[in-house]
Structure 1
Amino acid sequence: MTTAAPHLGQGGPELASLVEAVSATRMQATVRELAGDRFAGRRVGSPGGRAAGTWLAERLDVLGARVQVSEFDVAGVRELHATPVLQWTGAGQTHRLEHRRDFVEHLASAELPHPRSAPLVKAPEAGSAGTGLRERWVLAEAANWGRACEPAEAQGAAGVLTVRGADAEGWMPKMIAGPPARAVPVIAVHPDVHRRLAEALDDGPVQVTGSMPLRQITTRGRNVYARFGSRQAVSRVLLCAHYDGVGDDPDRRLPAAADNASGVAAVLEAARVLAAAAPAGALELTVAFLDAEEAGAWGSAHHAPTVPPGTHVINLDGAAHLHQAAAVEAGGPAHALLAALDQAARLTGVPLRAGAMASDNRRYAAAGLAAIGVGMGMPGYQTPAETPDRVQPDTLVAAARLLVATVWLLAPSVTSAP
């Protein structure tokens, strides 16, 4: 159940009316749609990702916007083309491990499309090249996996096992962008699995069987832009959110409801409310639904150089669970924008805090624009647990209200409250 913002009357009756027009029901429907099966996790360049972009363009067109789609190349996207395998045998007992619970793809891994069985050995000590790694799986600590890869590659090892943590619910999140690939397969295992392997190896021989059908591809991204108002407006504001996700696994859904269907839903709702009421001639509002953020913020890198100077940019990445305060990162000449956001937050009752927002806002700031990134939580981040039911309606409402109020306060014909 949503609640009224405590200080809306101080912003004037027009702003109070606008903010109250925000609909949680509409935003929840958007989240459910984008996280649904037909968009398959919305990875850049995938059929589901492209279909999601088309769907969003249609939604913006219904709002009366001038809609444009812009495509661009995206390189180095990691793609799992089959489910990886990992199991180990020690003391006569075989342990079959579950992908994304017990182990995950390491983004520096060479492709290993078919299972390879070999004995397990510990990585050489620091400063030692080691010997006897040929056709062996090498067990490395998190801090020295890169160093362990060097002798493993030189000696023709079967692969390297290293360690990576899990979230509070035991999932190991998925990513699709990372360091350059090594010349040897690399698999990241849960800390508990890594510990058990080390202990088993101390007690006797251990045999490991693993595959990592992970390849790098070049694909096409698709940004969706919508413009409301006149290009002759005194004030320009860009609201943006990335709509891509990391994509489904071959045998498991990753709905990407929080990251970032929630942010898209709030931006779309804010655009709906503002498009119907923005002061004529005072404001040009642009919406950008960006692709390929998960692959390295390619969509914003493509868009940022084309944005007119003087545009205020607000990027929303995550609007699913406002725990204590929204994280805010400002970049570029953002003093006026930050002041408007702060006033809007006080009027709508949304607490703010300074926090790192490593998202598309940084591309716009690097282009010399006033840019702010806002985040309101991502429960289940990049795991199968990132489902629509975990996106809180009150957080969606808080995000959309904050955007509406900030844009309204930036329009020059609006008189700011004292």
Structure 2
Amino acid sequence: MSEEPTAIVLFTRDLRVHDNPALELACRLARRVVPLFVVHEGLGFATANRGRFLRESLADLRESLRGVGGELIVRYGDPVTELMRLAGEVRAEAIVLARDVSRYAQRRAARIVRAAERQRVRVEFVDAVTVARPAALTPSGGGDHFRVFTPYWRVWSAYERRSVASPPLRIEVPSGLRCGRLPPARSTRAELPDGGEAAARRRMRAWLAGGLVDYADRHDDLPGDATSRLSADLHFGCLSPLELAVAAERVGGDGADAYVRQLCWRDFHAQVTYAFPDITRADYRPRPRDWRDDPDALDAWRCGRTGLPIVDAGMRQLAAEGFLHNRARLLVASFLTKQLGLHWSGGARHFFDHLVDGDIANNAGNWQWVAGTGNDTRPNRRFSLLRQAQRFDPQGDYVRRYIPELAGVAGAAVHTPWRLGRLPAGYPPPLLDPGGGQGGRHR
């Protein structure tokens, strides 16, 4: 191989060519650029839903890179080992990758730095996974991160952002490299969206042109399904959160303001996780609470057979689509933790096993917020599931969409099938007294 300057860009959760600062920097640092993705089988994306989305995203990324003369090199095994092996093979002078916030990502970054020092390779980190760098914003009164969202939102809104990076016009890859096979296609029963940047950008354009304007008024509308459905694209980095925020702000209006606030929530959970990487296994704010151990109740919740239609519809949507409406996520999590009294970690694990957008920071952060162990300033907050159902699914269309046993129940009566005199065939009685007591099947 020639002695021309060579840089490796390690793709992680930034599977795109548009606004990819790692790819842009690698192209500025070296004449030859080696785009690399290492498949580590033990990671969460090995679940069936995320595995399939990942495979399609990598295939799309490879096609995009080939379109500008490049290639996506795929290796299998420990990311640091494979990265440094390739660095030695191509005599790389630099490695570029995006910062991330999980415990795994932080340990990976530290290992890369140590290994690169031994091989005398330069390492550069960029910000591509969030709008604001996780450690960039800190409270004026001290502390390494914000614990409450509203003051974070104020500082985040004034944060000086980097410029949106342009896609590369041309990439030169060293000759003789084995490109490597993509991960096998994963079999799943869920109806998933197409993975990859091309599909993500189509969804983004449609959302900005159509759904965004009404987002502030309709984002809690369960049957209307008026959310962006871009969460998986953001999780895998098929879309840049910065580019999306900039594009939404350009549209403007109440819908854009409300939507950008949700992107800020994503950054908020990221900076909490960066500071508290135990968030997936330990209470962020431990509080005295006697959590119950009830495997049967947990299983009924997982299967969407609690007897509470608004909860069961949400859990069945999750199983059918690998996705769950944000309002439904809130309600099913509240039912598990506040009504059933089961620890949030069991619910978080189930979500992580099924969600295509299964993101460590958002998943654990939101579960802990609902459970009262996280960043909610009202840890004892409780939701009336019936009032929530009647407000956000007033005619029961969302419930009937996912619970065929209740398809013949008209109107809002679908939310209270136990009041029909006889339950529809195949549908269970409620685990709990829907009024908030502990009757029903729950003992």
TM-score bracket, shorter-length normalisation: under 0.3
Give the helix-richer structure, 1 or 2: 2
Greater RCO (CA < 8 Å, at least 6 residues apart): 1
